[in-house]
Amino acid sequence: MYNIGEEEIKAIAGVIRSGKLFRYGEGDQCLTFEKRYADYLGAKYFRLTCSGSYALHAAIVGLGIGPGDEVIVPAHTYMATATSVLTAGAIPVVTDVDESITMDPDALEDAVGPQTKAVIPVHIWGASCNMDAIMSVATKHNLLVIEDTCQGIGGGYEGRMLGTIGHAGAYSFNYFKNIGAGEGGGVVINDAALDKRIACAIDPCHYYWTGRTEDFMPFASNGARASEIMGAVLNTQLDRLPEMMAAMWAEKNQILANTRHLDNLGLKPTPMNSPNYECGTHVMYTMPTVEVADKFVEVMPSVIAGKTGRHTYTEWDQILIGEGAAHPLMNPYKMDANQKCRRTVTKDMLPRSLDILGRTVMIPTDPCHSEEQIGKMIRNIEVAARYAFGEMTSSEIESRMAEFKDADKIDSRKYDTDVAAYGLGQQVETPATL
Ligand SMILES: Cc1ncc(COP(=O)(O)O)c(C=O)c1O
């Protein structure tokens, strides 16, 4: 979330003054946002919920995925992509990313097995997945596609909005996202019957508020409704979105254009699947070696994709130790229905992804950056590149750098833990047959 201020304060105050804080009945902020955001996406239905994690869960159970099913997820994403598969009773199968740091469609093709029911491509750091290739693998193998668009708000893939290309899309409106309400999430879908299932996943009692229909069979779920305060903030945030996207695209293009001459040195922009439509929330470079990437981030405020502390499968403790649920009898890893699924994830299983992620550096853009700040960033990228590629010594850096440091927009705080810390080791008995 980049911009928040007076408009949001007024919107929240308006809801409180109205006394209409509950979305059903008298409130209209959530409903208004759902309609406006569906229109913005060019889709039929959008349902708000309390988080991106829950949006993923609602999309997965809404589409009927559960025990006995494998869902393919990429090696690089926030762990909720994988844990939401488990909360539906299914098993996440982790697969490689390519140099775009999004799911590698060839790896997806190789990963499809007899139990595979769905795939979750993730538009990580705002970078669009290769949706044409992913959709073609999915069509060939009859897979459902849920786009994890939590980090892809406002972005597109070759003219289509991210989240609307597969069968469903999940969004997060938490604090770190392009627009947000502190917390929040939602699901986009075009099918009316599935939309009702998603509504039920978000609120098992939703038919009480909106009316029962003969054609829908409700099921038990957790409650994860949005509040009118969330709706009000998001309506204001949505007003800001087009301008913010334009500013981030412009900044990204300016930085790339002004660092192109460093290509000869070895500074290569990360290949993007849809460079004119992806979010532009980061400028990314793919370095030739991990050592060059490490030296670059020493100097330029930026983050190595593989070192955020929680976005790579090696950091998803629950998956690594096979603790798929709070209660052992509800643990999908132990369920009879899942015995044919590939259930083992080990830290060393995807060395190609780890290598790519260790070599990819990300510099956050920000719609609030001034021309002067962008100019300083460009200068500092050049200094960092010259140092990383051995053309400048560390003693020369300080005199060459412009005074400007901010990489705050990537939440890179580290909560790194080692699975061994739990003293559990790998809990899954059956070795994977990947
Ligand atoms: C790719 C991705 N998926 C899912 C989520 C989960 O969203 P939330 O934090 O709103 O539950 C996030 C949030 O960081 C995310 O970045």
**What confidence score (pLDDT) does residue 398 get?**
83
Of 213, 238, 242, 170, give the one whose Cα is nearest residue 30.
238
**What confidence score (pLDDT) does residue 405 get?**
62
Residue ranges in the chain modelled with pLDDT below 50 = 408-434
Q: Which helix (H) or strand (E) holds 169?
A: strand 168-172
Q: State pLDDT tens for residues 175-225.
A: 999 999 999 999 999 999 999 999 999 999 988 998 888 888 999 999 999
Of 313, 326, 321, 338, give the one whose Cα is nearest residue 87.
326
Task: Count Cα atoms within 13 angstroms, Cβ side, for 230.
Answer: 24
Determine the distance separating the centroid of ligand 1 and the alpha carbon of 338, expressed in angstroms: 26
Q: Of all atoms in ligand 1, which is nearest to the CA of residue 176?
A: 14
Q: Of all atoms in ligand 1, which is nearest to the CA of residue 54?
A: 11
Q: Which helix (H) or strand (E) holds 117?
A: strand 116-119
* Per-domain residue ranges of the chain: 6-236
**What confidence score (pLDDT) does residue 420 get?**
45
Q: Of all atoms in ligand 1, which is nearest to the CA of residue 123?
A: 1
What residue ranges line ligand 1, CB within 6 angstroms? 51-53, 56, 77-78, 80-81, 122, 124, 148, 150-151, 172, 174, 176, 185
Spell out the long-range contacts of 134-139 with Cβ–Cβ below 8 A and sequence spacing 24 or more.
Answer: 134/103, 134/105, 134/108, 135/165, 135/166, 136/105, 137/105, 137/108, 137/109, 137/112, 138/166
Determine the distance separating the centroid of ligand 1 and the alpha carbon of 194, expressed in angstroms: 22
Q: Which of 50, 53, 187 gets mutated to test ligand 1 (max ligand atoms within 8 A of its CB)?
A: 53
**What confidence score (pLDDT) does residue 3 get?**
84
**What confidence score (pLDDT) does residue 404 get?**
65
Determine the distance separating the centroid of ligand 1 and the alpha carbon of 8, expressed in angstroms: 22
- Has domain 6-236 been given CATH number 1.10.150.530? no
Q: State pLDDT tens for residues 305-342.
A: 999 999 999 999 999 999 999 999 999 999 999 999 99
